[in-house]
Homo-oligomer: A and B are copies of this chain.
């Protein structure tokens, strides 16, 4: 069974210094002579000393724990976000806790409060739709736990955020279809209460108007960001007497749903129907035809979020430095043209 783990006392003894000095070295504080520092470092290495985070957390107030709070269980978006967060956290010695909250449930405040208080969380990353949850933000504000919002509906003056310009991205995608000659472009919306839903629809409308067109409610369907949620809408659109020649689905999973419905009807793609998605998750390459979509740099966004958050935490500990200002980063998106779009076939 486990040997006794070395403590700061063992290190101090081995280095011939006080525990306070060891603590100083551990925390990279100033005022330790180079010589002493080296002796301590050597002792730490020899003993394979690893500070006990619980003890650090109890008196100090850092836990080295960052939580990702989200409400999109198992989705590919969440997976990619976590990959980005993980990379950055690991580099900086933080650990990542994942907390899915049942967004519809009423226990949201309580769960977040428990998390924060019991675990002494250092910081939190919020993704949609939790990124816009006032109750969650209130708990975090009251507890004084810093957080960063990924893709919030509106930027707040009190918390930093990372996003892409979803409206512009949706417009780019729509313009791509318009440039191909499509004039009747169906649209499938995302989940209500989700920031991206309105922004993407807004970008679609912007682009249509640029071409002197008005969105037609007849070819706009409600979806929910899942594959299944797009099926009914796609069927209705393709059953119209005058069906659209292209369909813009508000994310890639819904676009995959549109493709399935089209295949099922024996349409030949993309000549009979062009389809675009949004996000450029891995799925978009795996369906047939591969999706034209707009790439959100999800991992980079997550990485940037973690970076901003950790930077904030570092400054918090050094009360003599000026805290970094609230920042709202907008990362570049990119139109990715694959084989699911083409000029409309002549009728």
Contacts and interface: CB of A to CB of B under 8 A. Distances in A.
Interface of A: 1-2, 5, 48, 50-55, 57-58, 63-64, 73-76, 78-80, 82-83, 86, 95-100, 113-115, 117-120, 142-144, 227, 253, 256-257, 259-260, 263, 282-283, 285-290
Contacts of A58: 52, 54-55, 58
Contacts of A285: 227
A108 B58 CA distance: 28
B98 A2 contact: no
Given A2-B142, A50-B118, A227-B282, A96 B97 contact: yes
A82 B98 contact: yes
Given A73-B83, A283-B286, A53 B100 contact: no
A54 B117 CA distance: 10
22 contacts: A2-B143, A2-B144, A5-B117, A50-B118, A52-B117, A52-B120, A53-B118, A54-B119, A64-B118, A73-B83, A73-B86, A74-B79, A75-B79, A76-B79, A82-B98, A86-B98, A95-B115, A98-B98, A253-B286, A257-B286, A260-B286, A287-B287
Contacts of A100: 83, 86
Nearest to A48: B113
Contact of A263 (B73, B78, B115, B288): B288
Contacts of A75: 79
A86 B72 CA distance: 13
Contact of A119 (B53, B117, B290): B53
A122 to B, nearest CB: 12
Contacts of A118: 50-53, 64
A227 B283 CA distance: 10
A58 B51 CA distance: 12
A227 B287 CA distance: 11
Nearest to A50: B117
A78 B86 CA distance: 14
Given A97-B97, A227-B286, A263-B288, 4 more contacts: A53-B118, A95-B97, A98-B98, A256-B286
Given A74-B79, A76-B79, A1 B227 contact: no
Contact of A54 (B57, B95, B97, B257): B57
B73 A76 contact: no
Contacts of A82: 74, 98
A261 B32 CA distance: 63
Nearest to A85: B98
Closest 7 CB pairs between A and B? A54-B57, A263-B288, A256-B286, A54-B54, A74-B83, A54-B58, A79-B79
Contacts of A96: 97-98
Nearest to A82: B98
A296 to B, nearest CB: 15
A121 B83 CA distance: 21
